[in-house]
Structure 1
């Protein structure tokens, strides 16, 4: 495994980080707790020491799963990355979405990052995770109803109190990062990025490289599209966010699979899966520090971790980039 410091925060994380959104079940059609705990443990055994979660994933359930999975592991050898600023239990802030919890109950979710809310969320997360500090605490989404400096002052206070080691953001633009930086030294920005969604290369990547901020990318396999296992016309269950997603239209799946088939022989020469090759390519891109990858069972977790078992040469990355020019298209929604 390779490790990288998040900015100059002193927090070092595994470059493949376990993403526990699917483990929480929310928007992924439910979860099996034992499988999710086993997946995190299997990842840890292969050097994936960092776990990214959030309260809104399963309305607290994902954090509880992470807490269960890290029981008995040396706390200083595990990095817990969680988030704040998405409330389903408080109708305040910027309305985000209507959704359902894992039991099928209707919920309204709000982006809210007021000072008191952050302090409460931190205490709730620490309790669910069964720990007394969070390694990286990230604002999940910008909240247009709360001044950024108020949010960042609260985050700074948590760092001063030792409840948080480093503060970061997620889904922030460069302008929002610049504003946050007036109050806090941000460690990182967590943003979507994949072979078919590369818009951050225009501005977020150059800014983060110049200012020594880590970039944690989520959905590097684009919700499974880039594994080559999705077939044109494949049906997704009710409640699965891929259902009706424009990247999963039969035409787009066919187009992506055609490009994946061109790089498949390279994966085979590395004794790797397409998904592993895609993860390796992602981590070879300038400025990309960490790839967050989900797994719902130990077998998937092992596959993800083993993406670090091989290297790509400059020429191989260049070869992949040439094939990807065929996918140059507007950024995914």
Structure 2
């Protein structure tokens, strides 16, 4: 496993992080709690020490599962916990953005309680909230840092312009954007900006909601409520184009002795500006596969071939915009 130093966290952080959205069950067809807990424990034992979660993942359930796993791990292994705030929900499951200072105070206490921790290593704004000045949110997070409730400050799904406004109110250590072989919009501005400004990135969606595992076929269906039923990439002709791309990428992965998933994560880790890749899993076998994603690199010839394949098979790439929650 490869590690980086993520200031101001006093522990080295694995370049593969465990994403826990699927463990919350919400929008992913459910998850077994005991298996999820074992996945977290095994990830930490195997050297994947960054665990990324959020209150919205199962409306608190994912954080609770992480907390139960950490209690079993104890002080045996160093772990780094990243969670988020800024999305509120009601009894009907309706979700809206809210990054007000009052909401932050409410959420930090709830997350600390669910996780069973005295301090959170990395606290991130989940989605930009245009109704609250970004610098006001940043200042509220700076106060939490000064109080010792959090160690590092991050944002997720922010643009460079939004980051500039945010940094007027306090420091910013990390940015978490979507990024994978099929969703590459951040290469134009966000990744170069973070590289120039020294902001670490934790990219999510590296397997593009399972597309880059190579396990789907044209007749694959998903249970009711599954996120992929709303993703245009999984519909009709779009789905066939993406599956065709996957099949053309498969021989390149095999050339390096890697599964498609390992190949996709390894590709992302090799891109300029990418610090950490988050790998979602709900079973130990899934996170164990992630171990083969680091310690190797694609050569330029194969990188060029990948770009050619994508241009030929996916003439109109579709981004992850469908996932954005409602604005207030």
Any residues of structure 2 matched to 1:76-155 within 5 Å, and which? 77-89=78-90, 106-155=92-141
Q: Quick one: distance in 2 between partners of 1:252 and 1:160?
A: 48
Q: Quick one: distance in 1 between partners of 2:93 and 2:136?
A: 27
Superposition misfits of 4+ residues, deviation over 6 angstroms: none
Shift of 1:8: 6.2
Deviates more, 1:73-82 or 1:143-152: 73-82
Shift of 1:261: 2.2
Q: Output one character per residue of 1:207-236: Cα deviation in whole Å (capped at 9) or x when no partner.
A: 111100111111111100111111113211
Describe the SS at the equivalent of 1:169.
Answer: strand
Q: CA 1:11/1:119 → structure 2, altered by over 3 Å: closer, same or farther?
A: farther
Q: Quick one: distance in 2 between partners of 1:219 and 1:273?
A: 17
Q: Output one character per residue of 1:72-120: Cα deviation in whole Å (capped at 9) or x when no partner.
A: 332871000000111125xxxxxxxxxxxxxxx6222221111121012
Number of the residue aligned with 1:203 = 189
Q: Output one character per residue of 1:5-50: Cα deviation in whole Å (capped at 9) or x when no partner.
A: 3366656421110000000111112221011111112222221100
Shift of 1:325: 2.5
Describe the SS at the equivalent of 1:77.
Answer: coil
Q: Quick one: distance in 1 between partners of 2:9 and 2:288?
A: 28
Describe the SS at the equivalent of 1:192.
Answer: coil
Describe the SS at the equivalent of 1:252.
Answer: helix
Q: Quick one: distance in 2 between partners of 1:75 and 1:118?
A: 31
Instruction: Tell me the TM-score normalized by structure 2.
Output: 0.91
Deviates more, 1:304-313 or 1:203-212: 304-313
Number of equivalences: 318
Q: Quick one: distance in 2 between partners of 1:18 and 1:250?
A: 31
Q: Output one character per residue of 1:130-164: Cα deviation in whole Å (capped at 9) or x when no partner.
A: 11111110000111211112211110011111110
Q: Quick one: distance in 1 between partners of 2:308 and 2:9?
A: 36
Q: In the alignment, is the contact (CA less than 8 A) between 2:270 and 2:297 conserved in 1?
A: no
Q: In the alignment, is the contact (CA less than 8 A) between 2:154 and 2:173 conserved in 1?
A: yes
Q: Quick one: distance in 1 between partners of 2:69 and 2:97?
A: 28
Deviates more, 1:259-268 or 1:24-33: 259-268
Any residues of structure 2 matched to 1:1-333 within 5 Å, and which? 1-6=1-6, 12-71=12-71, 72-74=73-75, 77-89=78-90, 106-308=92-294, 310-326=296-312, 327-332=314-319, 333=321
Q: Quick one: distance in 1 between partners of 2:191 and 2:242?
A: 24
Q: Runs of 5+ in structure 2 lacking a partner?
A: 322-328
Q: CA 1:269/1:22 → structure 2, altered by over 3 Å: closer, same or farther?
A: same
Q: In the alignment, is the contact (CA less than 8 A) between 1:196 and 1:328 conserved in 2?
A: no
Q: In the alignment, is the contact (CA less than 8 A) between 1:6 and 1:213 conserved in 2?
A: no
Shift of 1:311: 3.4
Q: In the alignment, is the contact (CA less than 8 A) between 1:134 and 1:164 conserved in 2?
A: yes
Q: Output one character per residue of 1:268-289: Cα deviation in whole Å (capped at 9) or x when no partner.
A: 2332211110110011111011
Deviates more, 1:131-140 or 1:37-46: 37-46
**Aligned-pair Cα RMSD in Å:** 1.8
Q: Quick one: distance in 2 between partners of 1:150 and 1:331?
A: 33
Shift of 1:127: 0.8
Shift of 1:69: 1.2
Deviates more, 1:45-54 or 1:315-324: 315-324
Q: Quick one: distance in 2 between partners of 1:86 and 1:260?
A: 34
Q: Quick one: distance in 2 between partners of 1:262 and 1:7?
A: 39
Q: In the alignment, is the contact (CA less than 8 A) between 1:82 and 1:138 conserved in 2?
A: yes
